[in-house]
Amino acid sequence: MFSLKLEDVLGKALSLRSLTGPEIVFLLGLKEEDEICLLFQTAQVLRERFFGPKVFAYGFVYFSTYCRNNCRFCSSRISNRQKLRYRKTESEIREAASSLAKSGVHLIDLTMGEDPRYYGRREEFEGLAELAAVVKRETGLPLMISPGAVSEKTLRDFAEAGVDWYACYQETHNRRLFDELRPGQSYDGRMLKKYRARDMGMLIEEGIMAGVGETNLDIANSVSAMRGMGAQQTRVMSFIPQDGTPMVDRHSPLRLRELLIIAVLRLAFPDRLIPASLDIDGLANLKERLEAGANVVTSLIPPSMGLSGVSQASLDINEGNRTIQGIIPVLDKIGLELADAEDYGNWVGKERKKLRRQNLNCEAEV
Ligand code: MD0
Ligand code: SF4
């Protein structure tokens, strides 16, 4: 067995060459503190090269916590009878989005479970596409939608309404683990949605979960799946045990694991967006996530509007910590700064243009 040298692997990443599966597995297995520090420093150098000191921030509106699915890790799963659910009205959604926009976020992420109200009726989705267009107009910000594995027609409605991003996380690219985590859902069907959204010109975000029984090789395979779909935003989130779910007694993984994965994502996707989510530990560990190479803070939630997070339903929300004011002192401490809305708008505009060009070239080839 040949052995890899850390300096070689980091050097390769710094010269923007793709890392192989074994190299990724090697990085994820680092144990020595000084080696891990070198990895994080390299991730920071790469982030700096493409984004300078600028960090983006996303406002999050989880507008329906109803879901027809039964994911084992998720508190919104249909068989969780303990869950107090809500579904926000159009005007509540617009109000939350506007208040986030006023606070200075760069994007609005409209998220819901696979709410049967929507999945049962076409008109509801049509209404949602219209609402997305209204929110985009009213806030003047790019828009992400995370509505689950919607139909082809609905994806098209979103694309036509001007939705910029489609987010739909696989959580794992190990099919056996996927079947365990997302019983009754189709692995290929979910993957296909992202490819279709991309073909329609929407940017895509792919995400994985750490601490659900995945191996380092699974993570390396996820990196290659993310590369294959051309995701513009790639994320990892630590599993948080949820009351009322079959995984409530499982432990949340050590945060070091998530940090190593963030750093590996940065090395693998130096010029892509990589979130540090407030939905895992609230403000705690935000600094560490950024120091591992993340460049977007996600899950900012306006306080006192009755909105919840996904993994952390209430942590730090009403305290006003999941806000722009909450994160700025953390950015300051490590020499980072909040980007302008214009910086973000330009990034999205440029990527969407690139994608349209690629899509046209593909059409020309067939
Ligand atoms: C977050 N809670 O950013 C949100 C969520 C959905 N598009 C994003 C997982 O952490
Ligand atoms: Fe529903 Fe999404 Fe939760 Fe699965 S992860 S139960 S699809 S809200």
Q: How many Å from the N-terminal Cα to the C-terminal Cα in the chain?
A: 43
Q: Ligand 2 centroid vs 175 CA: distance in angstroms?
A: 17
**Mutate-to-test residue for ligand 1 from 58, 279, 296, highest number of ligand atoms within 8 A of CB:** 279
Q: Does any ligand 2 atom lie closer than 6 A to the CB of residue 171?
A: no
Tokens of 217: 């090789």
- What's the rounded Cα separation, in Å, for the pair 308 and 318? 10
Q: Is the pLDDT of residue 248 over 60?
A: yes
Specify the ligand 1 atom closest to the Cα of 277.
Answer: 10
Per-residue model confidence as pLDDT tens digits over 108-134: 999 999 999 999 999 999 999 999 999
Per-residue model confidence as pLDDT tens digits over 266-284: 999 999 999 999 999 999 9
- The number of angstroms, rounded, from the C-alpha of 228 to the middle of its chain's C-alpha atoms is 17
Pocket of ligand 1 (CB under 6 A): 60, 109, 111, 146, 167, 277, 279, 298-299, 309-310
Predicted confidence at residue 363, as pLDDT, reads 82
Specify the ligand 1 atom closest to the Cα of 167.
Answer: 7
**What does pLDDT average to over the chain?**
97
pLDDT band per the 50, 70, 90 thresholds, residue 149: very high
Count the neighbouring beta carbons within 10 Å of the beta carbon of residue 71: 21
Of the candidates 332, 202, 232, 269, which has an alpha carbon nearest to the alpha carbon of residue 43? 269
Put simply, whether the predicted model's pTM sits higher than 0.85 gets the answer yes
- What's the rounded Cα separation, in Å, for the pair 289 and 287? 5
Nearest CA to ligand 2 atom 8: 113
Q: Ligand 1 centroid vs 309 CA: distance in angstroms?
A: 8
Helix (H) or strand (E) holding 286: helix 286-291
What is the percent of the chain where pLDDT is above 70? 99
Q: Is the pLDDT of residue 1 over 60?
A: no
